[in-house]
Amino acid sequence: MKFTEEHEWLRVEDDVVVVGITAHASEQLGDVVFIELPEAGTEVTKDEEVCVIESVKAASDILAPIDGEITEVNEALVDEPGKVNEDPTGDAWFFKIKAADPSQMDDYMDEAAYNDFIG
Amino acid sequence: MGELLRTPLFDLHAELGAKMVPFAGYKMPVQYPLGVMKEHLHTRAGAGLFDVSHMGQVILRGDSYAAVAAAFETLVPMDVLGLDEGRQRYGLFTNDAGGIDDDLMFANRGDHLFVVVNAACKEGDIVRMKAVLEPNVTVEVIEDRALIALQGPAAETALARLNPSVAEMSFMDVATVDLNGSECWVSRSGYTGEDGYEISVPATEAEALARALLVMEEVEGIGLGARDSLRLEGGLCLYGNDIDTSTSPIEAALTWAIQKVRRPGGDRAGGFPGASRIFGDFAEGVARKRVGLAPQGRAPMRAGTPLFAAEEGGDPIGEVTSGGFGPTLGGPVAMGYVGSSQAAVGTEVFGEVRGKRLPVTVAKMPLVPSNFKR
């Protein structure tokens, strides 16, 4: 698994990258109450805002970590946004993206580096 | 900005694992480990303990209650003289333009008037009271007492264990009650839409009282985060968001707080700051009105969201002044101002969220029915 400074995790599964937010991020956000997902088939570029996540406290954006095409989104989160707090790195993935340039993954941290990053 | 102040319960908050944030010059608990959502739901199901010691507590004394009340009526458009001993009332400090400078609670405690004001406004409120009321009325700022709110359907059961007499109090009653060996000034009131009590307790004894309540099965510590969502569901105004120096009580849908005796035609009509504008609003109506708002989708509509009459085109007709997620409703909840022609319950308007206009229904306040012990 790789990690971004935006507190997203990225897991390579076959030819797609699964994206979610870290346990640290979900704790900081507090109870998640609303999620707006992109549409499958959308072409996105790195750092583009692709999801909105709202907690009891505030709204924040989720950025596309890499260039590519969104192949699948986790519709279950729309009805149960609280899953993001319960199982952030498992059931509560946000979307899958087919990487246009897999070398963009090299920029991101491994778990040890991410744990150092969040202190 | 100077050093943040601490309430007498600061160490207890730290021990309970609270996340502390700056609020109105104080370091206050925004949430405990339970989290905002569960704290909110717990308060509606059991009892929540809130530290509201940052609020201002003031005692006004004069030759008699009537003398103090008559003087205080020059500052607020409420019936203070007619308030029975042992009773509390919601009030507003109005300004010369007919806007609201703060909202407050005041109680007839026999030989004096007890006033509780918002933390963020208390300095100005004290200056105002001293300027207008002294020397005939003394303005005593209470610095050596904490203020604790115990709110929720189990509040009576919990507090009655410390003194059964509190169960006999009705909504807005006030009494001096011994709790845990401390002389407390208790009112049956709060700001969550639930039954409950607000308890003024000597600062040095506040932590012991809070602990005596927190050990009870029904009671959990609740932070400012849940206090905000509870009062929002309860249709209660947050000063600075939903009411401010420019909103008249009529626009703010607080007309109920102005008793008939102070309204046009009443025996003591007027005689408070801004009476001419407020009486104009009574006679001619207002252009905008505070309303409850129920977003039809799931997206929260936060403070500042502009509101429109139609899905496309046109200028804003108002804006959301408080909004977020209502845990009891299980969906978004908001309040805000719309034009009077859009203020009828059931009217559909649109809130613009991230560039999209989303439907929102004008709803009867409070959105979650209140549970007071009348």
Number of C-beta neighbours around residue B372 at 10 A: 15
DSSP letter string, B244-305? -TT--TTTTT-GGGS-GGGSTTSTT---STTHHHHHHHHHH--SEEEEEEEESSSS---TT-
Q: Which of A30, A34, A78 sits opposite B36 (nearest CB)?
A: A30
Residues B188, B329: one domain?
Answer: no
Which SS3 state, helix, strand or coil, does residue A9 take? strand
**A54: chain B residues, CB-CB within 8 Å:** 299-300, 325
Task: List per-residue pLDDT tens for chain B, 374 residues long.
Answer: 578 999 999 999 999 999 999 999 999 999 999 999 999 999 999 999 999 999 999 999 999 999 999 999 999 999 999 999 999 999 999 999 999 999 999 999 999 999 999 999 999 999 999 999 999 999 999 999 999 999 999 999 999 999 999 999 999 999 999 999 999 999 999 999 999 999 999 999 999 999 999 999 999 999 999 999 999 999 999 999 999 999 999 999 999 999 999 999 999 999 999 999 999 999 999 999 999 999 999 999 999 999 999 999 999 999 999 999 999 999 999 999 999 999 999 999 999 999 999 999 999 999 999 999 88
Residues B304, B192: one domain?
Answer: no
Q: Do A34 and B299 touch (CB under 8 A)?
A: yes
Nearest CA distance, A58 vs chain B (angstrom): 8
How deeply is A55 buried, as exposed, middle or buried, from its count of CB atoms within 10 A (0-12, 13-18, 19+)?
Answer: buried
| Dist. CA A116–CA B14, nearest whole Å | 26
The size of the A-B interface in CB pairs under 8 A is 39
The predicted model gives A100-112 an average pLDDT of 94
Q: Which of A33, A52, A78 sits opposite B325 (nearest CB)?
A: A33
Q: Do A33 and B36 touch (CB under 8 A)?
A: no
Question: pLDDT at position A39, please?
Answer: 95
Residues B312, B202: one domain?
Answer: no
**CATH code (residue B190):** 3.30.1360.120
**CB under 8 Å, gap of 24 or more: what pairs does B20-29 form?**
B21/B224, B23/B54, B23/B119, B23/B224, B24/B54, B24/B118, B24/B119, B24/B120, B25/B54, B25/B119, B25/B120, B26/B54, B26/B119, B28/B54, B28/B223, B28/B224, B29/B221, B29/B223, B29/B224
**B298: chain A residues, CB-CB within 8 Å:** 33-34, 78
Residues B208, B309: one domain?
Answer: no
The chain B residue lying nearest A53, using CA atoms, is B299
Cβ of residue A31 closer than 8 Å to a chain B Cβ: yes
Question: pLDDT at position B220, please?
Answer: 98
Nearest CA distance, B252 vs chain A (angstrom): 25
**CATH code (residue B305):** 2.40.30.110
Would residue B369 count as lying in a domain?
Answer: no
| Dist. CA B231–CA B39, nearest whole Å | 13
**Domain hosting residue B222, numbered range:** 10-53+144-233
| Dist. CA B177–CA B184, nearest whole Å | 5
Question: pLDDT at position A58, please?
Answer: 86
Would residue B198 count as lying in a domain?
Answer: yes
Would residue B374 count as lying in a domain?
Answer: no
Question: pLDDT at position B287, please?
Answer: 97
Q: Which of A36, A57, A58 sits opposite B299 (nearest CB)?
A: A36
Residue A118 parent element (H or E): helix A111-118
Question: pLDDT at position B374, please?
Answer: 83
Question: pLDDT at position B356, please?
Answer: 95
Domain boundary among B218, B233, B248: B233
Question: pLDDT at position A17, please?
Answer: 96
Q: Do A30 and B332 touch (CB under 8 A)?
A: no
The predicted model gives A35-61 an average pLDDT of 94
DSSP A93: -
How many domains are contained in chain B? 2
Amino acid letter for position B213: L
Q: Do B35 and A59 touch (CB under 8 A)?
A: no
Q: Do A31 and B37 touch (CB under 8 A)?
A: yes
Question: pLDDT at position A57, please?
Answer: 85
Residues B174, B25: one domain?
Answer: yes
Residues B164, B304: one domain?
Answer: no
Q: Do A31 and B31 touch (CB under 8 A)?
A: no
Would residue B319 count as lying in a domain?
Answer: yes
Would residue B210 count as lying in a domain?
Answer: yes
Mark which residues 37-96 of A lie under 8 Å from B by CB. 52, 54, 56-59, 78
Domain boundary among B233, B252, B267: B233
The chain B residue lying nearest A78, using CA atoms, is B298
Domain boundary among B233, B251, B277: B233
Nearest CA distance, A3 vs chain B (angstrom): 26
Would residue B370 count as lying in a domain?
Answer: no
With beta carbons less than 8 A apart as the criterion, state whether B362 and B293 touch: yes
| Dist. CA B162–CA B154, nearest whole Å | 14
Given a cut of 80, is residue A59 above it in pLDDT?
yes
Around B163, how many Cα atoms within 13 Å sit in the side-chain half-sphere? 19
- Supply the ipTM of this predicted assembly: 0.86
Question: pLDDT at position B206, please?
Answer: 98
Q: Which of B35, B38, B298 sits opposite A34 (nearest CB)?
A: B298
Q: Which of B38, B300, B354 sits opposite A33 (nearest CB)?
A: B300
DSSP B84: P
Interface test mutation site (partner A, options B32, B37, B228, B229, max chain A beta carbons within 10 A): B37
Q: Chain-centre distance of CA A96, in angstroms?
A: 9
Tell me the CATH architecture of domain A2-101: Beta Barrel (2.40)
Nearest CA distance, B307 vs chain A (angstrom): 19
Cβ of residue A34 closer than 8 Å to a chain B Cβ: yes
User: Any idea what the Cα angle at residue B115 is, between residues B18 and B194, rounded to 5°?
Assistant: 50
